[in-house]
Structure 1
Amino acid sequence: MRSKHSNELTLAIIFIGIFVLMSILSPDKFLSGNNIKTMMFQMPEFGLMAIAMMIAVLTGGINLSITTGAALSSIVCAFILSSEFSQNNNALGIVLGLIACMAVAVICGVINGYVVAYIGVAAMLVTLGSKTLFEGLGLAFTKGGSISGFPEAYSFLGNGSVLGIPFPIILYIVVIIVSYLLIERSAWGTEVYMVGCNEIATRFSGINTKKTLLKVYIYSGVMSGLASILISSRYNSAKTDYGSSYMMQAVTAVVLGGTSISGGHGTVAGTVLAVAIVQVISTGLNILGVNRYIINIITGGILIVVLALRYITKVMEDNRKIKERAAATAK
């Protein structure tokens, strides 16, 4: 518990340090109200994708289809929103579009979860395959183009504000609280951690690990579905490659946030703080005029360095424990 809180404290210090650094390098642009507001509109999309990735990684798996599943969900939603029915019945059309979006997101989660849990295929292989499947379906539906012409009210979800606070950040905060309660304070959340630590032992302890895993990938799908709503609303259109960069960024945030890539360890707070760090770095470098591809290189470099440091730390900790046991046995 102590190490968990120390990790979050370290991330908070890093976030403050990077925020201050970017503020010094470009005070007029970075600290402008417009830029802060823009980050508050963008970060929830990224954060929801990161939570979708985190819960899969907690079980020792991964979900490489979060962005293409989100795109497919938004495309199905877009067909309804751009239909003549929605143009004549805005409120009902939006409600039906949102229901369809979340239904597709859940179906994507069920497909991943069922194959991983009940058939037993490795999560990386399953979600790599479903990533291609969802992307292919999206391209087939849109012919590679975008779908637009949504009711004006729909744009509120991704661009609107409540009492001056961007609606996406309000939704994001609600999801963070719900995710914390479900993952870290519920019986199901305990099962998720147990599966990540040792799936076989958890199964023999009487827990239905297959059902637990299925729920994990459904929840992951729901999170990416919510992200897709914000993305399509912000752009006022839907396309297969919208949000595609979030997949790599989500993995980076999850690992940086302290979630073990082998499963069993990690916190929602750590992931949220890591999302904020990556968002500030990305926005700050963009303001400083750094090429977008260089930003991707930096993101990939951060991921490699963090993974390497975590591995080295784990090896050193294991060696220390072995020496302690040897010393205790010698006595």
Structure 2
Amino acid sequence: MNSEVTIANKPNKSEAVGKRRWKETAFRLFGRYGMLFILIALILVMSILSPTFFTSGNLLNIVRQMSIVGIVAIGVTMVIITTGIDLSSGSVIALVSVVVATFAHPDSYPLVVPIAVGLGIGLLTGVINGTIIAKGKIAPFIVTLGMMTGARGAALLFSDGRPIGNLSDSFKFIGQGAVFGIPLPIIIFALVGLVSYLLLTKTKFGKYVYAMGGNEQAARIAGIPVDRYKIMIYAYAGLLSSIAGIILTSRIASGQPTAGVMYELDAIAAAVIGGTSLSGGIGTIGGTIIGALIIGVMNNGLDLLNVSSYWQQILKGGIIVTAVFLDARKNRKS
């Protein structure tokens, strides 16, 4: 009799084990590719709700619109991986915008001059942020908040609070041109993403970024020059902000002292939605790009559906809070 009970129970146990393994596999896959699944689902839903959404022109427009925020978000991702934050991105974009526009008038300077000046400004602001944070041991939130205010003020002072127009055709090509039918901002976005991916995954720089985010004190003990690499990380974030500023200026054909407002928050949102942990040590370039595309698809789809921009802001805020909540739960379990 006992043997019959044992035999009857064996299939139940194996079935339970099979279900548990299936659930574990499903959770693992969703944890790794969840945002990609959400992006695909969002595209499908928007395609059903709006017949004009899933067209080549509109899809290219989505990526082109998000390329600027996406470039900033890639730099912000590296900063957040080290448990830092950068609130100055939008203001750096504005400062770069007005200065670059001054050097981009027709028949004034070669194209390389405004580009070099813009990149230099972004690099300098990043170095200043990183140096004060690393050497002064001041919280990144405070330092970058100060840079956010200072850079915005400098942009308004430099331009006297007015837009700077009359840009050369060669400069406007950066944001408005296309190569083989692909808008140039998308190509630049892809190149920035590729270079950043290789930096994070194939170089010593990337290994140190993750090590610093995992445990900064342990990284110091292991001999990693934390302060030097922290400056480099913020400098790279500033450089990417300047690239975004150059593209934006070229696209709107004027230097705007009010450019880049809220871009830093959109960049942080893209990074967090893409799986970058605010606790540090976790984050990928691919995830951030997907996060930026999720925001872009949502904004574009809701615009096509004539949903109020106020509701869009509320929805975006809810998505960010949900992403942070899920990240916090995951960190508590680990």
Q: TM-score, normalised by structure 1?
A: 0.89
Give the whole-Å Cα distance in 1 for the aligned partners of 2:331 and 2:71: 29
Partner of 1:323: none
Q: Are 1:295 and 2:318 matched, yes or no?
A: no
- Of 188, 195, 218, the match for 1:178: 195
Are the counterparts in 2 of residues 8 and 270 from structure 1 also a CA contact under 8 Å? no
Give the whole-Å Cα distance in 1 for the aligned partners of 2:286 and 2:39: 13
Partner of 2:209: 192
Give the whole-Å Cα distance in 1 for the aligned partners of 2:207 and 2:283: 12
- Of 93, 104, 110, the match for 1:70: 93
Q: Which amino acid aligns with 1:16?
A: I
Are the counterparts in 1 of residues 86 and 264 from structure 2 also a CA contact under 8 Å? no
Partner of 1:9: 33
Q: Which amino acid aligns with 2:148?
A: K
Q: Per-residue CA shift, 1:239-288, capped at 9, x if unaligned?
A: 12223232221111111111110111111111111111111001111111
- Of 137, 154, 159, the match for 2:176: 159
Q: CA deviation at 1:208?
A: 0.5
Give the whole-Å Cα distance in 2 for the aligned partners of 1:50 and 1:290: 25
Q: Which amino acid aligns with 1:88?
A: D
* Structure 1 runs (4+) greater than 3 angstroms displaced: 2-8
Q: TM-score, normalised by structure 2?
A: 0.89
Q: CA deviation at 1:298?
A: 1.2
Are the counterparts in 2 of residues 40 and 166 from structure 1 also a CA contact under 8 Å? no
Any gaps of 5 or more consecutive residues in structure 1? 319-331
Q: Are 1:18 and 2:56 matched, yes or no?
A: no
Give the whole-Å Cα distance in 2 for the aligned partners of 1:205 and 1:312: 30
Are the counterparts in 2 of residues 52 and 66 from structure 1 also a CA contact under 8 Å? no
- Of 100, 104, 107, the match for 1:88: 107
Partner of 1:224: 241
Q: CA RMSD in A?
A: 1.6
- Of 158, 161, 175, the match for 1:144: 161
Q: How many matched pairs?
A: 309
Q: Which amino acid aligns with 1:282?
A: N
Any gaps of 5 or more consecutive residues in structure 2? 1-24
Give the whole-Å Cα distance in 2 for the aligned partners of 1:190 and 1:238: 38
SS in 2 for 1:286: helix
Partner of 1:262: 279
SS in 2 for 1:228: helix
Q: CA deviation at 1:37?
A: 2.8
Change over 3 Å in CA distance of 1:192–1:5 after alignment to 2: farther
The within-5 A match list for 1:180-329 is: 180-315=197-332, 317-318=333-334
Q: Are 1:102 and 2:125 matched, yes or no?
A: no
Q: Which amino acid aligns with 1:46?
A: V
SS in 1 for 2:111: helix
Identity fraction in percent: 34
- Of 72, 75, 81, the match for 1:52: 75
Q: Which amino acid aligns with 2:156?
A: L
Q: Which amino acid aligns with 1:72?
A: L
Give the whole-Å Cα distance in 1 for the aligned partners of 2:33 and 2:325: 21
Q: Which amino acid aligns with 2:128?
A: I
Are the counterparts in 2 of residues 184 and 267 from structure 1 also a CA contact under 8 Å? no
Give the whole-Å Cα distance in 1 for the aligned partners of 2:167 and 2:228: 37
Q: Are 1:126 and 2:150 matched, yes or no?
A: no
Give the whole-Å Cα distance in 2 for the aligned partners of 1:88 and 1:275: 37
Give the whole-Å Cα distance in 2 for the aligned partners of 1:148 and 1:9: 44
Change over 3 Å in CA distance of 1:188–1:8 after alignment to 2: same
Change over 3 Å in CA distance of 1:151–1:8 after alignment to 2: farther
Are the counterparts in 1 of residues 63 and 293 from structure 2 also a CA contact under 8 Å? no
Give the whole-Å Cα distance in 2 for the aligned partners of 1:4 and 1:108: 40
Q: Which amino acid aligns with 1:13?
A: F
Q: CA deviation at 1:309?
A: 2.0
Are the counterparts in 1 of residues 196 and 285 from structure 2 also a CA contact under 8 Å? yes
Q: CA deviation at 1:8?
A: 4.3
